[in-house]
């Protein structure tokens, strides 16, 4: 595993490392799950699940050096394998893997400034977590309450002085089980169906939802918008 270096100090490089390790772990817990399950023998010593920058995964003993070169994954995942259902065990490994991926990314980003750390987390947060992939969860948009004119919880945040202010709605604000009943959401620009793998943004005026790419809004840009108006609403206001 690589340590901190000048070639791995930028946001893009660290995110590339994160994405590769994440892809490897997801493969271990989904496509290669039988092989992974077999390697986690409870009769063996403490084992860890590693995801490597070349998108390969490995079940192995923890690093011997103290402190380790990088933060270590959860120790002893094999001991719980036969004490719970396979689904619950895989979910547990997935949660710990998410924690490890974030810790490695921010360890590698120790020299980043505040804005760079924020951008790195935003890039990481755009992708579903390992836990969400393994448990087949998907992000859904918050729906305003029928008996209230207030914005959904996703549309409110606190300012530095503690006062609440309205903010645009983001489609990745909450998560529900895949089998929950929700009406289909279509992009107000291209008409495409909602997908949890893409960034969406909701208009604060007409409350229609759009692919971020369709209205040329990125997650980073959305953070700086106090109130979002879609192109049609912006044109109406200008008339």
pLDDT digits (tens, 9 = 90+) for 163-202: 333 344 444 444 444 434 335 678 888 888 877 678 888 8
The predicted structure's pLDDT at residue 9:
65
Closest CA to 169 of 233, 234, 228, 237: 228
Residues 6+ apart with CB under 8 A from 88: none
Instruction: Spell out the SS3 assignment of 206-224.
Output: CCCEEECCCCCCCHHHHCC
Cα–Cα dist 146/176, whole Å: 19
pLDDT mean across residues, the chain: 79
Above 60 in pLDDT, residue 20?
yes
The predicted structure's pLDDT at residue 27:
96
Tens of pLDDT, residue by residue over 134-173, are 998 755 444 433 333 333 333 333 333 333 333 444 444 4
Read off the pLDDT of each residue in 71-93 and give the average, rounded to a whole number: 93
Q: Which 3 state secondary structure label does DSSP give 235?
A: helix
Share of the chain above pLDDT 70, in %: 75
Token output for 200: 């969406």
pLDDT band at 49 (very low <50, low <70, confident <90, very high): very high
Q: Which of 43-47, 60-64, 149-153 has the lowest mean pLDDT?
A: 149-153
Question: Domains of the chain: which residue ranges?
Answer: 6-136, 138-239
Task: Please state the length of the chain.
Answer: 239
Question: Which superfamily, per CATH, for 138-239?
Answer: Zinc/RING finger domain, C3HC4 (zinc finger) (3.30.40.10)
The predicted structure's pLDDT at residue 236:
74
State the burial class of residue 34 (Cβ atoms within 10 Å of its Cβ: 0-12, 13-18, 19+): exposed
Closest CA to 35 of 49, 54, 23: 49
The predicted structure's pLDDT at residue 138:
57
The predicted structure's pLDDT at residue 75:
93
Above 90 in pLDDT, residue 238?
no
């Amino acid at each position: 595993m690589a340590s901190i270096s000048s070639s791995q100090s930028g946001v893009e490089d660290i995110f590339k490392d994160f994405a590769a390790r994440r892809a490897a772990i997801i493969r271990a817990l989904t496509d290669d799950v039988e092989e992974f399950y077999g390697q986690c023998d409870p009769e063996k010593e403490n084992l860890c699940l590693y995801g490597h920058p070349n998108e390969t995964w490995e079940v192995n003993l923890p690093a011997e050096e103290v402190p380790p070169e990088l933060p270590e994954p959860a120790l002893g995942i094999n001991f719980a394998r036969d004490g719970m259902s396979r689904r619950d065990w895989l979910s547990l490994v997935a949660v710990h893997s998410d924690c490890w991926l974030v810790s490695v990314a921010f360890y590698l980003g120790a020299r980043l400034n505040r804005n760079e750390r924020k951008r790195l987390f935003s890039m990481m947060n755009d992708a579903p977590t390992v836990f969400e992939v393994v448990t087949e969860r998907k992000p859904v948009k918050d729906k305003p309450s029928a008996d209230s004119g207030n914005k959904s919880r996703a549309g409110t945040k606190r300012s530095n002085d503690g006062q609440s202010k309205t903010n645009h709605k983001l489609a990745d604000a909450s998560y529900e089980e895949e089998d929950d009943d929700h009406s289909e959401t279509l992009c107000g620009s291209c008409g495409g169906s909602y997908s949890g793998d893409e960034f969406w943004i909701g208009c604060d005026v007409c409350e229609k939802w759009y692919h971020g790419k369709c209205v040329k809004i990125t997650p980073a840009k959305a953070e700086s918008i106090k109130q979002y108006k879609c192109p049609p609403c912006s044109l109406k206001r200008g008339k």
